[in-house]
Amino acid sequence: MTQPVIQDEKLKNFIEGIWKADDSKTYRDVINPANGKAIAQVPLSTKKDVDEAVQSARAAQKKWALIPAPRRAEILFRVGQLMKERKEKLSTILTMENGKVLEEARGEVQEGIDMAFYMAGEGRRLFGHTTPSELGDKFAMSVRAPVGVVGIITPWNFPIAIATWKSFPAIVAGNAVIWKPATETPLMAFELAKIFEEAGLPSGVLNVVFGTGSEVGEAMVDHDDIRVISFTGSNDIGRNIASRCGQKLKKVSLEMGGKNAVIVLDDADIDLAVEGILWSAFGTSGQRCTACSRVIVHERVKHQLEKRLIEEMENLTIGDGLDESVKVGPIINAQGLEKIRRYIQIGQKEGAKLIKGGYVLEREQYKDGHYFAPTLFTDAALNMRISQEEIFGPVVSLIPVKSFEEAIAVNNQVEFGLSSSIFTQNANRVFAAQRDLDTGIVYVNAGTTGAEIHLPFGGTKGTGNGHRDSGVAALDVFTEWKAVYVDYSGKLQRAQIDTE
């Protein structure tokens, strides 16, 4: 296992194009969750740093917005090329700070590369509409205008992909960005900011302020000159952000968790369903918003599915994600591990049957990291907490049902609405399911993870507030619609009045 040397032990904020060294700050260790070793130190910035970043962003944004979008896009294109050249290094650092296995880290970096080229293309579109005016000799159109300075707050579970879903559309649309990455995973932010710098992004268009949500995040949410907050994280924090932004009439885009299910009908290809469940439930150790944490199974195939899942779970090697033979990496930190352990107890108390896993791994090779055994509950009921609440770990609960209709109802009776999946070979059910599943993302004959960047990402109900990350829909978060009327009649024409 070759590990890249991480150059800057003490990370620095990136404000106005300058890496700001500051020894007076408090620093926190960045810990590799696979082995408990500190790999860097992240500064805990203050409101003052946010103010400074916003000031630099305001000035930079005015000039940036005047650069034609296709030119702005050329910088994103260069960012994509640099990410591609550095894919292996970025992926290795990502595995070291987040724990996800190298294959998945490469996938996440690829997601960012895809987003760069996709949004670079958007620089030559950014389409509005032209439409006939109701009056003669008058032209009407709608155009996208940048909002100004935007704030993005990103989570540790996809530290680079989610940052690209938010920052790339914001930048190509002519905004300046203040970015607060998660304190657990600041190295991806450091690497991406360096790439932007090398790609020639003007100073102040992207500013990175490291620190906690309660200090840096709150300062961003409350700052009058940040006109949009785009946040991915927990439901509690998202609600708090939404109400504070509401007070200030600030635009806010939220993406907050899921309780995603795979439905397995009695005509499903069971081997395929098993593969889909294993990948989407235990990949990233279940620490994806899109992770499968419920399997809604027709009672006729329940026994068969349980048996096959238990067999295959035996083959899930657990360990440090830098080891290419490992399939399931560590949990992000001790708190995350504790939360999962608590849910195992809750599930058992509620009467679900634990048939595989359910424990923290403590043997020699695991003792310095945070590892949890892939876990399977069966005979879970819809109203149990393990069937309703987000666990964010490698834990799946099987809920038996008697019909297709009941499966859809069980899927929909949760607070969240991010992703869902159905395994069936019946074409009528496929189409009925894609209509009736009430999530923002629906998969047929595939697990619940693996969204592609050119489609909208987000969910219904407790998952979000109606906005979407990635895809062309992301531009709606970072632009205002402007309606423009050009009257070339040479006389005053009054809409709705001079209609004859």
Residues forming the active site: 255
Q: Which stretch binds ligand UN1 (CB under 6 A): 13-21, 239-247, 409-417, 445-453?
A: 445-453
Burial of 129 (0-12, 13-18, 19+ CB in 10 A): exposed
Candidates 277, 422, 451, 474: give the one binding ligand UN1 (CB under 6 A). 451
Q: Minimum CB separation from ligand UN1 for residue 453, in Å?
A: 8
Q: Minimum CB separation from ligand UN1 for residue 454, in Å?
A: 12
Please identify which residue in the block is written with the tokens 């619609």.
481
- Using the minimum distance from each CB to ligand UN1, give the nearer residue, 157 or 397: 157
Site size toward ligand UN1 (CB under 6 A) is 10
Contacting ligand UN1 within 269-288 (CB under 6 A): 288
Q: Which residues are CB-contacts of 66 (< 8 A; sequence separation ≥ 6)?
A: none
Q: Which stretch binds ligand UN1 (CB under 6 A): 2-10, 124-132, 448-456, 480-488?
A: 448-456
450 binds ligand UN1 (CB under 6 A): yes
Strands (E), 353-497: 353-356, 375-378, 395-401, 416-417, 419-423, 441-444, 460-461, 479-487
- Using the minimum distance from each CB to ligand UN1, give the nearer residue, 54 or 281: 281
158 binds ligand UN1 (CB under 6 A): yes
- Using the minimum distance from each CB to ligand UN1, give the nearer residue, 182 or 187: 182
Please choose, from the candidates 143, 226, 140, the residue with its C-alpha nearest in 3D space to the C-alpha of residue 178. Answer: 226
311 within 8 A of 354, measured Cβ to Cβ? no
468 binds ligand UN1 (CB under 6 A): no
166 binds ligand UN1 (CB under 6 A): no
Please name the helix (run of DSSP H) or strand (run of DSSP E) that holds residue 499, with its range, or none. none
Q: Minimum CB separation from ligand UN1 for residue 468, in Å?
A: 13
Candidates 253, 397, 449, 479: give the one binding ligand UN1 (CB under 6 A). 449
- Using the minimum distance from each CB to ligand UN1, give the nearer residue, 217 or 258: 258
Q: Minimum CB separation from ligand UN1 for residue 111, in Å?
A: 6
289 binds ligand UN1 (CB under 6 A): yes
- Using the minimum distance from each CB to ligand UN1, give the nearer residue, 158 or 478: 158
284 within 8 A of 331, measured Cβ to Cβ? no
Report the distance separating Cα 419 and Cα 401, nearest Å: 19
Contacting ligand UN1 within 391-410 (CB under 6 A): none
In this structure, the dihedral spanned by the alpha carbons of residues 248, 252, 257 and 258, taken in order and rounded to 10 degrees, is 110
153 binds ligand UN1 (CB under 6 A): no
116 within 8 A of 74, measured Cβ to Cβ? no
Residues 106-125 as x/- pattern, contact with ligand UN1 by CB under 6 A: -----x--------------
Amino acid identity of residue 195, one-letter, is I
Residue 329 sits at φ, ψ, to 5 deg, of -90, -170
Distances (CA, A) of 1 to 4, 97, 427: 10, 15, 47
290 binds ligand UN1 (CB under 6 A): yes
Report the distance separating Cα 97 and Cα 76, nearest Å: 25
- Using the minimum distance from each CB to ligand UN1, give the nearer residue, 61 or 230: 230
Please name the helix (run of DSSP H) or strand (run of DSSP E) that holds residue 289, with its range, or none. none
Residue ranges that bind ligand UN1, judged by CB under 6 A: 111, 157-158, 161, 288-290, 449-451
